[in-house]
Structure 1
Amino acid sequence: MGIGVSVFLLAVGGILAFAVADRLSGVDLTTVGWILMGAGALGLAVTLLFANQARRTSHTTVHERRDLHD
């Protein structure tokens, strides 16, 4: 899950949790909103953790050159 999807889940979850007062039969939209916000926050944290870890990784390239003189 990328940063964009995580922010989207946070936004949709916030709208459902705080801005929608309707109820569907058998579905509490406030709870669904909180669950989506939790999934978005968790996805954002994991994405940023992996991005930070990849940024700290260093790569070393070794070029070996052998010149043979007669």
Structure 2
Amino acid sequence: MGIGLGIFLIVVGAILLFALNVNIPYVSDDTLGIILLVAGALTLVLALVLQAQRGRTKHVQETRYDGPPPA
């Protein structure tokens, strides 16, 4: 989900920055595009770091010794 969200934010930010000329009151569309591009890049990097960390996790199964096995 994090990788998809990062790509989505990058795409929307690039569209606002390069393709659209919209007059949003109190907000510049170029500034909003840059903010979304940076947020998307940070989200993408964070998702990749967390995914790599999850891949290095070792799962250990504990077994409990309850005496000798039944005959």
TM-score (norm 2): 0.81
Aligned CA-pair RMSD = 2.1
Where does the alignment leave 5 or more consecutive residues of structure 2 unmatched? none
| Identity within the alignment, % | 39
Give the stretch that moved more between structures: 24-33 or 39-48.
Answer: 24-33
- Give me the whole-angstrom Cα distance separating, in 1, the residues matched to 2:18 and 2:29: 10
- Give me the whole-angstrom Cα distance separating, in 2, the residues matched to 1:13 and 1:69: 66
- Give me the whole-angstrom Cα distance separating, in 2, the residues matched to 1:4 and 1:36: 14
Where does the alignment leave 5 or more consecutive residues of structure 1 unmatched? none
Structure 1 residue 6 corresponds to structure 2 residue 21: no
Structure 1 residue 26 corresponds to structure 2 residue 29: no
Cα deviation, residue 69, structure 1: 6.9
Aligned residues: 70
TM-score (norm 1): 0.82
- Give me the whole-angstrom Cα distance separating, in 2, the residues matched to 1:42 and 1:7: 10
Q: 2:45 matched to which residue of 1?
A: 45
Matched residue of 2:61: which SS? coil
- Deviation string 1:9-62 (CA, Å, 9 cap, x unpaired) is 111000000101233332210110010111111011111111110110111213
Runs of 4+ in 1 over 2 A off after TM superposition: 21-26, 62-66
Letter in 1 for 2:43: G
